[in-house]
Amino acid sequence: GAVVSQHPSRVICKSGTSVKIECRSLDFQATTMFWYRQFPKKSLMLMATSNEGSKATYEQGVEKDKFLINHASLTLSTLTVTSAHPEDSSFYICSARASGTETQYFGPGTRLLVL
């Protein structure tokens, strides 16, 4: 199957700093990437949809100024958590989907801990 990577896998930062998470599709071109958040013992919640070359669309309740998404190429999307606070601590997972296909492939996730 297709491979999606995320970097970093784990990050610890101080409150008020910004953190960038990268999502890459390694062996296919992803016209659409998705960002999810998962809290402990909870399911994945979609945060935003990222289309290459255009602005991301955010789900209701997700602050677009806090979670900046850039999808500059067909293999890379980035999520920047700006001015992170402890309540932003979570497991962030991206997925990627090639145009015309139905299957989404997920990255391994990034564990963010804000102190």
Partner 1 sequence: SQKIEQNSEALNIQEGKTATLTCNYTNYSPAYLQWYRQDPGRGPVFLLLIRENEKEKRKERLKVTFDTTLKQSLFHITASQPADSATYLCALETGGTSYGKLTFGQGTILTVHP
Rounded distance between C-alpha atoms, residue 73 and residue 31, angstroms: 9
Rounded Cα gap, residues 76 and 114, in angstroms: 24
Segment interacting with partner 1, rule: CB under 8 A, options 11-19, 62-70, 79-87, 106-114: 106-114
Residues in the chain: 115
Applying CB under 8 A, the span of 13-21, 37-45, 65-73, 79-87 interacting with partner 1 comes to 37-45
- Residue from 15, 29, 83, 103 in contact with partner 1 (CB under 8 A): 103
Residues 40-59 that bind partner 1 (CB under 8 A): 42-46, 49
Alpha helix locations (H) across the chain? none
**6 is a site residue for partner 1 (CB under 8 A):** yes
Q: Which of 73, 83, 5, 77 is nearest to 35 (CA)?
A: 77
Residues of this chain that interact with partner 1 (CB under 8 A) are 1, 4, 6, 32, 34, 42-46, 49, 91, 93, 95, 97, 102-109, 111
